[in-house]
Amino acid sequence: MSTHFAADTTVLLGRSMRHVTRSLDTIITTAVMPIAFLLLFVYVFGGAISAGPGRYVDYLLPGILLITVATGVSYTAFRLFLDLQSGIFERFQSMPIARSSVLWAHVLTSVLANAISLVLVLLAALLMGFRSGAGVLAWLAVGGILLVFTLALTWMAVVPGLTAKSVDGASAFSYPLVFLPFVSSAFVPTASMLGPVRAFAEHQPVTSIVDTIRRLFAEQPVGGDIWVALAWCVGALVVAYLLAMATYRRKAA
């Protein structure tokens, strides 16, 4: 059976990528809210925010990229929920295919769709004046962090996708993920925050990830932050994956 895993996953990936390309609105809406945040914070609030020297858009972009992924993964829960509801999930489950390929196809689709959305947001940021002198290695590091972050959030999205009772329930889980960056160093430096809020902001995962990406873009040494960021991402990935697989096994009997 496992010999078919790669072939089956590829076939199913092709299928759900068709879902994405035939409803491009899912990619566009994923990119629209983060771009709206960019515009709002750079042109409306940005003037009143003191985030240190340099362009505010440069400061803001890393957090916006994380918000993009957090919005995008809710579509994975949505697509998975629809598969279950339409009965096609059970059709796949009753066929002689590698069973986990059904989930992996959705996860890889999420990675590809989010990558497209991220590129759109990045292009918008470039139009708004974002510049980075980062070299190939730094860009690869940013891509790698975003990839692990996307995988972690996508496997989290699999759980509500498999268990939700309604479409709204399937995508509602991502709201807290979208708002987590607001209580982090994504929009304003944590030093300006009140004691307990600051303590939370400095110790939640988004701050370390945002700081790492910001330093990579600014060609500064990343220090220990990158390891904290990676530890959060990989840890979340492992926990989410195990949780998703346990849910899946219960669901698929």
Partner 1 sequence: MTTKPPPAAIHVEGLQKSFQALHVLRGVDLDVPPGSIVALLGSNGAGKTTVIRILSTLLAADGGTATVAGYDVATQPADVRRSISLTGQFAAVDEVLTGRENLVLVARLRHVGSPGTVADDLLRRFSLTEAGGRRVSTWSGGMRRRLDLAMSLIGDPPVVFLDEPTTGLDPQARVEVWAAVQQLASAGTTVLLTTQHLEEAEHLADRIAILHEGRILVDGTLAELKALLPPAQVEYVEKQPTLEDVFLALTQEHA
Contact residues for partner 1, defined by CB under 8 A: 1, 4, 7-8, 11-12, 15, 18-19, 22-23, 86-88, 90-97, 252-253
Q: Cβ of residue 199: shortest distance to partner 1, in angstroms?
A: 45
Question: For the purposes of burial, counting CB atoms within 10 Å of the CB of 104, is it exposed (0-12), middle (13-18) or buried (19 or more)?
Answer: middle
- Cβ proximity to partner 1: between 9 and 114 the closer is 9
As a whole number of angstroms, the distance between CA 45 and CA 201 comes to 20
Q: Cβ of residue 50: shortest distance to partner 1, in angstroms?
A: 48
For residues 146 and 69, the answer to whether their CB atoms sit within 8 Å is yes
- Cβ proximity to partner 1: between 9 and 208 the closer is 9
As a whole number of angstroms, the distance between CA 28 and CA 241 comes to 27
Q: Cβ of residue 79: shortest distance to partner 1, in angstroms?
A: 10
- Cβ proximity to partner 1: between 16 and 185 the closer is 16
- Cβ proximity to partner 1: between 96 and 133 the closer is 96
Q: Cβ of residue 245: shortest distance to partner 1, in angstroms?
A: 17
